[in-house]
Amino acid sequence: MPCQLMPCRPKVISLVVLALLLEPSGRLRADLKLAMAEHDLGRRSKIALDNAEAALKAARAAYEQGDGDKTVAAMAEIQASVDLARESLDKTGKNPRSSPRWFKQAEIQTRDLLKRLDTFQHDMSFADRPMLDNVKARVQVVHDSLLLGLMEGKHK
């Protein structure tokens, strides 16, 4: 019997961890405090970018409810999350070209985040669209620097 229980334990443990991370609404909760608590810098960047995606959903929901203050706060959290992700990857000291795991994942997530931000901006009223310009510009700068690091050749 112990052999049959061993393969199930990782599944049970992962389900328990997932249940602890779930909010009452059923969404995964990742915040910057959780990201800062992570010692692995690659994972920290992943958690921070997950938080940026959650903040974008919160910004969209707040905008649809007409709550401008929550929308602006969520946009600031998006920007802080993206900056934390980039800062964490820089602190690893790794070359993105030779160790691309976390860098490529961050590049893909920032690209997807840019697409979602663009869609959100187009869904907003014309007068409100400029409030997203700074956030989009910052995410674009981070995305471009990640992409450049991944695509850059050897230094001569």
Express each pLDDT in 73-102 by its tens digit.
999 999 999 999 999 999 999 999 988 999
What is the three-class DSSP state of 67? coil
Confidence of residue 29 (pLDDT cuts 50, 70, 90): very low
Q: Which token pair is 147? A: 């992409």
**Residue 30, pLDDT above cutoff 80:** no
**Residue 7, pLDDT above cutoff 80:** no
**With contact defined as beta carbons under 8 Å apart, do 102 and 42 qualify?**
yes
Domains of the chain by residue range:
30-151
Beta-bridge mates of residue 22: 28
